[in-house]
Amino acid sequence: MTQENQKPVALITGASRGLGAALALALAPTHHIIAVGRTTGALEELDDRIKAVGGQATLAPMDILVEDAMAQLCRSIFDRWGSIAIWAHTAIHAAPLNPSAHLNFKDFSRSMESNATAVGRLIPYVSPLLGDTGAALFFDDNKAGEKFFGSYGASKAAQMSLAKSWQAETVKTGPKVHILEPNAMPTALRARFFPGEDRAPLADINDEAKRLLGDAGLI
């Protein structure tokens, strides 16, 4: 049996950068990482960093919006590993901020598809891989009702509604669904919303990843 097969598997959707990459690095010493992201170069850089800490990763450069690709990925995970221990979902689309009266419907539709509809597809695919002992992680960022956050706030609220329903439904049966609240971090997503912000006071991404995993009882 290889080292890869001895380790439990952690699936990170949105692993290219930001919190997803930090979670992958935090879990790499103890888990085999399946890193899903759209940017091949960023995934390859993450792979190098995972190897540097003695970990191993399987890279899956794909878009979570492509249903057939995600279905095939989950089938391939089942065929190769049988199950996963952790699913952390950090993939997000950050639509530009604008007044609701001037909503760009293309941005709104992309936000809903990326942040809500894709999660609605993924939960039924990933749930069988987690079984009754795995853990699913979602990350709240409540902007619902804040001015100029119409597209992002609505789509993120819809995602959280799905996650909370799944959480309530699985209390007795598993998997364990965690909804975690990150502190503000200097991510590319935040930079889109708050350009020019002083990033010095923001939480370190790697420290925050470890804190969140600790809150979930996973490290």
What CATH number should be reported for the domain holding residue 134?
Answer: 3.40.50.720
In a domain, 54, yes or no: yes
**Domain region containing 108:** 3-211
pLDDT of res. 2: 42
Q: How many CA atoms lie within 13 A of 4 on its CB side?
A: 10
Looking at the whole model, is its pTM more than 0.85? yes
Evaluate whether residue 217 is within a structural domain.
no
In a domain, 183, yes or no: yes
Full strand arrangement of the beta sheet holding 176-180: 57-61, 32-37, 9-13, 86-89, 135-139, 176-180
The number of folded domains in the chain is 1
87 belongs to a structural domain:
yes
Q: What is the pLDDT of residues 163-172, one digit of tens each?
A: 999 999 999 9
Q: What's residue 3's pLDDT?
A: 42
Domain membership flag for residue 216: no
User: Which residues are CB-neighbours of 35 under 8 A, at least 6 positions away?
Assistant: 12, 15, 16, 20, 24, 43, 46, 47, 57, 58, 59, 60
Query: Is 136 a domain residue?
Result: yes
Average pLDDT of span 169-188: 97
Residue 5: per-residue pLDDT: 52
Is residue 218, in this structure, part of any structural domain at all?
Answer: no
pLDDT tens digit sequence for 41-57: 999 999 999 999 999 99
Q: What percent of the chain stands above pLDDT 70?
A: 98
pLDDT (tens digit per residue) in 101-150: 999 999 999 999 999 999 999 999 999 999 999 999 999 999 999 999 99
Query: Among 23-27, 71-75, 92-96, 129-133, which stretch is predicted with the lowest mean pLDDT?
Result: 92-96
Higher pLDDT, residue 188 or 124: 124
Residue count (the chain): 219
As given in the structure block, the two tokens for residue 134 are 């795995």
Whether the per-residue pLDDT at 28 is higher than 90: the answer is yes
Query: What's the pLDDT at 31?
Result: 98
User: With 60 as the cut, is the pLDDT of residue 1 above it?
Assistant: no
Q: Given this model, what pLDDT does residue 6 score?
A: 83
Residue 219 placed within a domain? no
What is the rounded average pLDDT for all residues in the chain?
Answer: 95
